[in-house]
Structure 1
């Protein structure tokens, strides 16, 4: 559990949230910490948290690995776009949303996120991604090969898409609260 406290006071956080008129969407590679950081960020902002992957599984009544296995990645990406569109509806309340690693790489999904939310790219080096993704065996894209090679290749391929997010934050080893503080700093500077 994180022991470090957010470096922003309640008053500073209230000023930041008062100026954000849209959901905050975390994008980046699998294993970068979008869900963990997102939950902590939502708690600090006093906003709800939504994990898009959980919403996809709930809508499909299947796990993501089952969707990939039964229907393929293209089908999954289309469902992912529809779920994110629903989460970012015009009347969406302030929310922190964690997306799947490939969501922001889909041009239609990326356009939707950039238009209707504040996108934050969480970024990590490959070593950190390998360590974090090894903790779970639910990553369909890592099942058929060397995870280090796959993560390195995906990170390089996806960087041009991720770099379109207006806020870029490094998620390094250490307590996730450090990354949450960096996200808050990035939002404060963006505002």
Structure 2
């Protein structure tokens, strides 16, 4: 974790696919009196309504990541928001630098087995998890966890927690850790 000094306007949620970033962001935003932004949904809108899976199929991962970086930069240049990022947003060093400079970053962690179980109950197609999600998530965790740790101000274990419990834990940690003077 970074423990960076200085005020940052946004709250950004990072973590593996299935940790609840897209669910938590609007709940946390409402509780803190902010707006919410979901980078994956904004990428889909930018790409004419194509799903993330369709963008991956059409443009490949590098094409998706380029649009993702553009959208992230636009969101973080805008009004204060709680931002749900995509799980791979940390792969680009420029994205990590931008997050570190402009956002209080909350890493949502969860046990991989719990993520596999959670993702098996959703209909959303996740292109990087096709085939064997458990093996893929373990590989992605090994690759990405050092990058999540590099930019995270807070780490919240979301394993077994309901969304509102995660929101409440984030708010408590923000207040206790002094990461923001007033998270509202």
Cα shift at 1:20:
6.3
Report the CA distance shift for 1:148/1:21 in structure 2 as closer, same or farther (over 3 A). Answer: closer
Select which of 73, 80, 94 maps to 1:85: 73
Gaps of at least 5 residues in structure 2 are 1-5
Whether 1:95 aligns to 2:71 is: no
1:68-111 deviation line (CA, Å, top 9, x unaligned) = 1111001111110000000011xx22210100110122211111
Higher Rg of the two aligned structures: 1
Structure 2 counterpart of 1:28 = 15
Q: State the distance in 1 between where 2:146 and 2:26 align.
A: 26
Whether 1:112 aligns to 2:98 is: yes
Q: State the distance in 1 between where 2:54 and 2:162 align.
A: 32
RMSD, matched Cα: 1.5
Cα shift at 1:21:
4.8
Report the CA distance shift for 1:20/1:37 in structure 2 as closer, same or farther (over 3 A). Answer: farther
Number of aligned residues: 170
Deviating above 2 A after TM superposition, structure 1's stretches of 4 or more consecutive aligned residues are none
- How does the TM-score come out when normalised to structure 1? 0.85
Structure 2 counterpart of 1:72 = 60
Structure 2 counterpart of 1:152 = 138
- How does the TM-score come out when normalised to structure 2? 0.88
Gaps of at least 5 residues in structure 1 are 1-18
Are the aligned partners of 2:8 and 2:101 in contact in 1 as well (CA < 8 Å)? no
Q: State the distance in 1 between where 2:96 and 2:103 align.
A: 10
